[in-house]
Structure 1
Amino acid sequence: MSAQEERDALTPPLALYDYVQRLLGESPEGEPPRRGFPLPERPEPGEALGPREAASDIIREALIPLPDDSATLHRRFTRLGIWDHHRHLIRSAVANLQLPAGQRDAVRSLARQLIRTGTTVPAVTVGLALLIRLGEAEDVPYIADLGLLRDLTPAAVEALDALDRRSAAVLWLVVRARGDELRPLVQALRAGDPHTIRAGLEALSASPRYLNTAAARRIAEAARLPDLLGRYPSDTALLARAGRILARMVCPRDNPTELLDYPDAITLYEDVISRAGLLPPTLKHHAMLLSLALDLSSGPGMLLNWPPGRREALLDSLGRLLAAPQWASLTETDAGTVDQRLWAGWIRRTGRQPFVRPATAGRLRIQVVAGDPVDREPVETRILLDERPLVPAVFARGPAHSPDYLLDEGRLRAGPEPREVGLAVAYCTEGCCGALYVTIRRDGDHVVWENWRRPPTMPGSLEPVPELPAYRFDATAYDAEIARAEADYSWSWPARTVARLIKAGLMKQPELLSRWDAKRGWISSGFDDPDSTVVTFSYAPGLASGKPEGIPLQFRWVVPDDGTPPETQAAAALRRLAVEDPKTYGQVCGGNRERAEELGFPWP
């Protein structure tokens, strides 16, 4: 071994906190990079701990009893082979530790040693996890800096959420915010100057491309948005941006329940709606306020801890404002940009929906809600049980299924045999974060929803979900509500109606596609162009006989709106399918290049 190698071996490793301080000192202007800092490159000696259950047992063995000093814990982890990649199991184990009340000060002292002098990820993770439960204000700067190491960010954010929501939000945004467009605002939030934050917010693009629900919530927390509105009460640009951020928090295409994790949600609703009359009447502002109203009437906003009658009063206030002539007249023309035309049509169809109370109260209410078309929000079948939105209350991972799935195909009807129905799926995929299922059955004069299936833990938590009860409905009232919802297409627009009619025609006449060895796929309005209809189908030789030769290709046929009634357009599309092979006018959109070339189709 060389002299340099001997010195390196004798030099104690740098504490992770000191490592972060060094990196910050070396960074331009002391700013961390997007996505935070990587961990120092260190080998992970030792063997794997085996299956998850065995690893968890070994980690618990290392933690019990908690030592008085950090060096002892370091030695235990090294001896047992507990390394960086076990940090998630460590957090779970610490969360479940029993901490006797008389030892809390000693445990807090150990946690502080670990985060300030710990040299390994497992040891520092124990310190952060203990401070999730025991942290105090003096720990905030240490936790915030350690969280700049991207592998420690989740534990640091969780600890800060209990101590200082603004610091937690700033850290989350520094490491997790997507896109360079957010960097100026994130830098302003990190600096903390209200004037710079105000300017950064007003310059921010609040489109879904840059601002998902989590980022919207964290920006509101980091900016202390209600306080900022109070500081600049006459700034209508800031007011409009605050409303837009609030509306983004309940976007069903992401996680629609970020709003419920935002402590100032009710205050921000109060601030925005009480001052909404200051906003210039524009289609953009009308669309933002309508999005807020739709949430308050049937979305996650209903689940906030509202004082009695206050939510309804805010809805009434919005309803009166948007019905005023200067706001209602905005939709009288379709002239303008594409966005303005989309907003005008949406407001005409949807503008009064959140302000109409049901004629009679009942256990079940179905509300089909089409979100802001400029943001490409989905159409969802909101299910309200006892006037509480079911999906965000018990699933909280994604929106309810579309009416195409639940209503057009009669899945919510109660038939003679019990059947399991999917009500919602996670915004990522079912394979990733699960789905919500219920079994629907008829029981004499009642309809019963029971045997719920959903992920076993709460979103972002290891806490088990509680069991859901069975719900019983009067069968006559239930059937009437499902029939009413199935027949109500007031939310629909021409391209969506064309898609529904084409789908219904193909369900009645599947041979229109099967004669071409094709099978119906997804049919709806276009995502990029909501005014067009998109018909998808799969094709493979022999598909109609049930014995396809090889992997099918997927095709996409776009039917533009020609201005004729939807019934005329749908009939024309079905006639074309009857006489002309759709593979000659559809475009390949899925499968693989080799299969497309084999079957003689160009790959996109």
Structure 2
Amino acid sequence: MSAQEERNALTSPTALYDHALHLLRESADGAPPRRGYSLPREAATGEDPPSWEAAKNAIQEVLSPLPDNPETLRRRFERHGIRNRHSHLIESTVADLPLPPEQLGAARCLGRQLTRTGTTGAAVTAGIALLVRLGEPEDVPYLSALGLFRELTRSAVGALDNLDRQSAAVVWLAVYSRRDELRPLVSALWTGNRQAIRAELVASPASARFIGSAMARRIAEASRLPDLLDHHCSDTDLLARAGRLLVRMGRSQDDPTDLLAYSDAPRVYDSVVTRAGLLPPTLDNAAGLLSLALDLDSGIGVLLDWPPGRRAALLESLRKLLAEPRWAVVSATAGEAEQRLRADWIRRTGRQPFKRPATSGRLRIEVVVGDPADREPVETRILIDGRPLVPAVFGHGPAHSPEYLLDDGRLRAGAESREVQLAEAYCTEGCCGALYATIRRDGNHVVWENWRRPQTMPGSRETAPELPAYRFDASAYDTEIARAETDRSWSWPARTTARLIKAGLIDNPDLLTRWDARRGWISTGFEDPNTTVVTFCYVPGPASERPEQPDSFLQFRWDIQDDGTPPETQAAAALRRLAEEDPKSYGQVCGGSRERAEELGFPWPASS
């Protein structure tokens, strides 16, 4: 907390709204600082805070029925020990309060009084939560100011999202965009200088390292991107940046609800694609347009609310443009290593979003490799009746890789039914869950049923509806799965080398077990896709003359740089070396127990 915030905290009681305005007036450039402001420190009471369960019960008692005025609510909160730390419980309780029609006016009035005059975080949180349900446009300035307190940002933005998406996005960016490189854009958005917004938007960084899906959506909303594009019809820099923001919103490894929640997405797609012919034919622009095509063909963009035939028309427009000679030669002029990666990706992937489905039937499998500059995962997109399944019903992460779903035959329908994990949350299943389906053969049909997924929809408190059983013609299903399993057109040499090494180790597990090792993750490097990465775990066995400690293993990593020879040759050489040389002599420790590594004489990685 700054010295000024400390002084203000001592002059209570001051309405938090007035406090926010005071802090803004003291700002040198009229914009809030990065990460916003902190609520004034609460005075110590000397009493132990109530337990979570006690606080939950107390909040329900305090709010049922709603008090008539803010002072009554403040006294009740104080009596029960309800403080700023209980904001989540306050929000959820208010969200679930039954509000009969005859009480809506009084509840709205109470919410407004609390947001305008409330002096504690708990009271103001209750007011904001009421305005999430009952707010009107006149509440926007108050919610915007209160949202600058980082403890209130999430709830204030939730209320603003229902009233004014632009204001919600500006507040969100003011508090959550913590990269220095984005601050000039945020300042321009806060002050509302349209000319400065355009200049700073074009100048701001566009890489995935700086801008994820949520950041991209909020920038588009805050800048009123469709209006900006219409006002600067021939501005190719702005056009390219708008396309990049769409690509960021459509990233499968981020939250798909960002693109789906962006109501202007079809309009921006339309502007970018129909004017794409104005763009100079650069590698970056070619990669951006191809990424948009992949999204419109099999990604999250399919799920947007499109007028009939419009999405197909945009895809056809992109197909014709990228087939023009001036665009077709772009990938042949790449020089640096990073450029060559993207050029190779464009050559491999360029026709994928524009070809007709290889087989007829309800099921379609597309293995999609994203722009290597964005370090996108390779995902197995599953489309049912033309719609991508995973972002539509799960939305917490992309579908699994082809190595997991296709190479190991998990999508095949056998005589026995089996449960298959189709996707896992990017934060792990233990955090936000996974998507499972049971696949079984039923006569002339294959059935996907008995779905398991998180109980609520992504980005929402709404209960996820039950998913239906999907039935596929068995012959068409088998044909599509076989095609997808054998189609390697998406792969590149290092990835193929990794697949062949993995297959060799599955066929000959003794290649590793002879060295007291077991196979781990085998794929391509995240930072360098042209590197094949082989990992294995090591637990000393009886032959090592070291005591066996199964719970204290070491993980090793062996990097194999693509040398330009065929993947079959590189994989055979790697398997031969594993047969002849202990891989611990050329692999590097990358995980496990540091103490065990030191005991066994292996250097621990410096970065760990």
Judge same fold: TM > 0.5, yes or no: yes
Tell me which amino acid in the other structure corresponds to 2:328.
A
Cα distance between partner residues in 2 of 1:577 and 1:543: 20
Cα distance, 1:56 vs structure 2: 3.3
Cα distance, 1:222 vs structure 2: 0.5
Is the 1:178–1:210 Cα contact (8 Å) retained in structure 2? no
Aligned residues: 595
Secondary structure at the aligned position of 2:374 is classed as coil
Cα distance between partner residues in 1 of 2:240 and 2:178: 22
- 1:178-223 CA-to-partner distances (Å, cap 9, x unmatched) read 4211111111111111111111111111111100000000000001
Q: Partner residue of 1:169?
A: 169
The change in CA–CA distance for 1:120 and 1:544 in structure 2 (over 3 A counts) is: farther
Cα distance between partner residues in 1 of 2:218 and 2:11: 40
Cα distance, 1:106 vs structure 2: 2.2
Which is further off, 550-559 or 17-26?
A: 17-26
Tell me which amino acid in the other structure corresponds to 2:420.
V
Q: Partner residue of 1:505?
A: 504
Instruction: Determine if the alignment matches structure 1 residue 40 to structure 2 residue 37.
Output: no
Secondary structure at the aligned position of 1:197 is classed as helix
Secondary structure at the aligned position of 1:332 is classed as helix
Cα distance between partner residues in 2 of 1:17 and 1:321: 52
Q: Partner residue of 1:153?
A: 153
Which is further off, 357-366 or 180-189?
A: 357-366
Q: Partner residue of 1:585?
A: 586
Give the aligned CA root-mean-square deviation in angstroms.
Answer: 2.0
Q: How does 1:44-193 map to 2 (within 5 A)?
A: 45=45, 46-52=47-53, 55-193=55-193
Instruction: Determine if the alignment matches structure 1 residue 565 to structure 2 residue 563.
Output: no
Is the 1:293–1:315 Cα contact (8 Å) retained in structure 2? yes
Q: Partner residue of 2:431?
A: 432
Is the 1:255–1:427 Cα contact (8 Å) retained in structure 2? no
- 1:253-283 CA-to-partner distances (Å, cap 9, x unmatched) read 2213310010100000000000000001111
Is the 1:266–1:304 Cα contact (8 Å) retained in structure 2? yes
Cα distance, 1:120 vs structure 2: 1.4
Cα distance between partner residues in 1 of 2:454 and 2:365: 24
Cα distance, 1:49 vs structure 2: 4.0
Cα distance, 1:98 vs structure 2: 2.1
Q: Partner residue of 1:397?
A: 396
The change in CA–CA distance for 1:401 and 1:10 in structure 2 (over 3 A counts) is: closer
Cα distance between partner residues in 2 of 1:211 and 1:372: 15
Tell me which amino acid in the other structure corresponds to 2:474.
A
Cα distance between partner residues in 1 of 2:548 and 2:435: 32
Q: Partner residue of 1:450?
A: 449
Secondary structure at the aligned position of 1:380 is classed as strand
Cα distance, 1:568 vs structure 2: 0.5
Report sequence identity in percent. Answer: 68
Cα distance, 1:31 vs structure 2: 2.8
Q: Partner residue of 2:491?
A: 492
Cα distance between partner residues in 1 of 2:10 and 2:347: 75
- TM-score between both structures, scaled by the size of structure 2: 0.95
The change in CA–CA distance for 1:49 and 1:469 in structure 2 (over 3 A counts) is: farther
The change in CA–CA distance for 1:303 and 1:379 in structure 2 (over 3 A counts) is: same
Q: Partner residue of 1:20?
A: 20
Cα distance, 1:550 vs structure 2: 4.4
Secondary structure at the aligned position of 2:414 is classed as coil
Instruction: Determine if the alignment matches structure 1 residue 327 to structure 2 residue 320.
Output: no
The change in CA–CA distance for 1:82 and 1:326 in structure 2 (over 3 A counts) is: same
Q: Structure 2: where are the runs of 5+ without partners?
A: 1-7
Cα distance between partner residues in 2 of 1:452 and 1:473: 16
Cα distance, 1:442 vs structure 2: 1.9
Instruction: Determine if the alignment matches structure 1 residue 200 to structure 2 residue 186.
Output: no
Cα distance, 1:394 vs structure 2: 0.4
Is the 1:44–1:83 Cα contact (8 Å) retained in structure 2? no
Is the 2:522–2:533 Cα contact (8 Å) retained in structure 1? yes
Which is further off, 547-556 or 513-522?
A: 547-556
Is the 1:519–1:544 Cα contact (8 Å) retained in structure 2? no
Cα distance, 1:103 vs structure 2: 2.9
Secondary structure at the aligned position of 1:107 is classed as helix
Q: Partner residue of 1:384?
A: 383
- 1:406-433 CA-to-partner distances (Å, cap 9, x unmatched) read 1111111112222221111112222221
- 1:524-574 CA-to-partner distances (Å, cap 9, x unmatched) read 111111111111111120299996444111111110111100110011000
Is the 1:543–1:549 Cα contact (8 Å) retained in structure 2? no
Secondary structure at the aligned position of 2:504 is classed as helix
Cα distance between partner residues in 2 of 1:10 and 1:235: 51
Cα distance between partner residues in 1 of 2:561 and 2:327: 31
The change in CA–CA distance for 1:544 and 1:429 in structure 2 (over 3 A counts) is: farther
Q: Partner residue of 1:4?
A: none
Cα distance between partner residues in 1 of 2:467 and 2:516: 44
Cα distance, 1:446 vs structure 2: 1.9
Cα distance between partner residues in 2 of 1:565 and 1:139: 65
Cα distance between partner residues in 2 of 1:11 and 1:573: 71
Q: Partner residue of 1:602?
A: 603
The change in CA–CA distance for 1:504 and 1:11 in structure 2 (over 3 A counts) is: closer
Cα distance, 1:359 vs structure 2: 4.4
Q: Structure 1: where are the runs of 5+ without partners?
A: 1-7
- 1:463-486 CA-to-partner distances (Å, cap 9, x unmatched) read 211111111222222111111100
Secondary structure at the aligned position of 2:196 is classed as helix
Q: How does 1:262-273 map to 2 (within 5 A)?
A: 262-273=262-273
The change in CA–CA distance for 1:215 and 1:320 in structure 2 (over 3 A counts) is: same
Q: Partner residue of 1:255?
A: 255
Cα distance between partner residues in 1 of 2:312 and 2:254: 26
Which is further off, 221-230 or 591-600?
A: 591-600
Q: Partner residue of 1:5?
A: none
Tell me which amino acid in the other structure corresponds to 2:215.
A
Is the 2:553–2:593 Cα contact (8 Å) retained in structure 1? no
Cα distance, 1:360 vs structure 2: 4.4
Q: Partner residue of 2:3?
A: none
Is the 1:189–1:222 Cα contact (8 Å) retained in structure 2? yes
Tell me which amino acid in the other structure corresponds to 1:110.
L
Is the 1:539–1:554 Cα contact (8 Å) retained in structure 2? yes
Cα distance between partner residues in 2 of 1:147 and 1:390: 35
- TM-score between both structures, scaled by the size of structure 1: 0.95
Q: Partner residue of 1:311?
A: 311
Which is further off, 502-511 or 91-100?
A: 91-100
Is the 2:31–2:191 Cα contact (8 Å) retained in structure 1? no
Cα distance between partner residues in 2 of 1:444 and 1:514: 42
- 1:55-74 CA-to-partner distances (Å, cap 9, x unmatched) read 43432221121122110111
Tell me which amino acid in the other structure corresponds to 2:563.
D
The change in CA–CA distance for 1:353 and 1:110 in structure 2 (over 3 A counts) is: same
